[in-house]
Structure 1
Amino acid sequence: MIDLESERLLIRNFRTDDWNDLHDYLSIEEVLKYEPGEVCNEEDCKQMTLERSQSNIFMAVVLRENNKMIGHIYFNQTVPFEFLTWEIGYIFNPRYYGNGYATEASRRVLQYGFEELKAHRIIAMCNPENASSWRLLERLLMRKEGHHMKKAFFYKTEEGQPIWHNAYQYAILADEWQRNNE
């Protein structure tokens, strides 16, 4: 069970009653521009929160002051497990952009990864066109390690052809995290 705190936020497992807050931002097309999947309706969000409440891979990010879920973080160990590498990703409600919440929540999850899970390395991928995302990763003092050309696709053309996108890869090592936080 995940139960992390930062100055203004709680980062915890999803609960089934988070569906309305999740729908609040996953129903906005612009939020999903760089993500797989379509705009979600209420039923989709109810199913998603049910599924996410049963694992630690997705964490709800909640304002401490009013218990409003304002986003979520993906945090999952990659294979091979013995390499002790996790991947982080995030989606936040645009109504809360510009307040530092994504940075604060992501920093707390990195701390959890390095200090509690004993991660060796944490990585993140983002679309180069998503400047807000890669700027966040740089605020977290993650290094850009690569620029992958036509790395993946989330959508296809009407003819069924993949619409490939590029990706930046960022990473931070445990010793870098420790040095940056001394």
Structure 2
Amino acid sequence: MNSQLFSDRLTLTKLASHDWELIRSIYTNPALMNHIGSTMSEDAIRRNFDKELAPWSLESTHWLTWIIRETASDNEVGLISICTRNREKLTAEIGFILLEASQGKGYATEAIKRVIHFAIDTHGFHRFTAVCSEEHIASRRVLEKAGMTLDEIASECTEINGRLVNDCFYSLER
């Protein structure tokens, strides 16, 4: 499997053991996790990280994660992942988190489009889904700019920092 994907401005590199500090810093950052979920303990982050380092295939239950970097500067931008959600219907869920300094520059949209192209060409996926909280307007815009459409808003589905929030379910068929 390709360990790197390239787009106009970005290099996406498959998660590797040397990415631990970046991953730990993302999942312990209250500002980054504000619309995603509670910050995680270091042990929980390590368990997920170790799973995601394993080889990935359509049958995998863990996420396939890439670190996003600006190609020109090699600065870290964030992460993007896919996970098989339905093998028979070749459906993948997409998730992403961008560092605060990289938000609002179109990087998430660019990375999503590149990962979708990869997932279609390499694994035959033809349906993509994503979930975000209703109040996370920036992520909703990113998903829509990437071509996804809002299918449903489900009331009080996810607990974030002690309160239930509405989830927006998006999809894209190719």
- Equivalent-residue separation in structure 2 for 1:35 and 1:173 (angstroms): 24
- In the alignment, structure 2 segments of 5+ residues that lack a partner are 57-62
Give, as a single letter, the amino acid of the residue that structure 2 aligns with 1:103: T
State the identity %. Answer: 22
Instruction: Sort the Cα spacing of 1:68 and 1:49 in 2 relative to 1 into closer, same or farther, 3 A.
Output: farther
Is the Cα–Cα contact under 8 Å of residues 29 and 39 in structure 2 kept in the other structure?
no
CA contact (8 A) 1:127 1:166 kept: yes
Q: Does 1:108 align with 2:114?
A: yes
Q: Corresponding residue for 1:5?
A: 6
Instruction: Provide the secondary structure at the position in 1 that maps to 2:110.
Output: helix
1:65 aligns with 2:72: yes
List gaps (5 residues or longer) in structure 1: 157-162, 175-182
* Residue number among 148, 151, 156 corresponding to 2:157 in the alignment: 151
- Structure with greater Cα Rg: 1
SS of 1:88's equivalent in the other structure is strand
Question: For residue 59 of structure 1, what is the amino acid of its counterpart?
Answer: W
Q: In the TM superposition, what whole-angstrom CA distance separates every residue of 1:109-135 from its partner, at most 9, and x where no partner exists?
A: 111122322212101111110000000
Aligned counterpart, 1:76: 83
TM-score by length of 2: 0.82
Deviates more, 1:2-11 or 1:32-41: 32-41
Q: Do residues 99 (structure 1) and 100 (structure 2) align?
A: no
Structure 2 partner of 1:132: 138
Partner of 2:105, secondary structure, is: coil
CA-CA distance at 1:154 after TM superposition: 4.5
Query: Using a 3 Å threshold, how does the CA distance of structure 1 residues 147 and 44 change in structure 2: closer, same or farther?
Result: closer
Tell me the SS of whatever aligns to 2:118.
helix
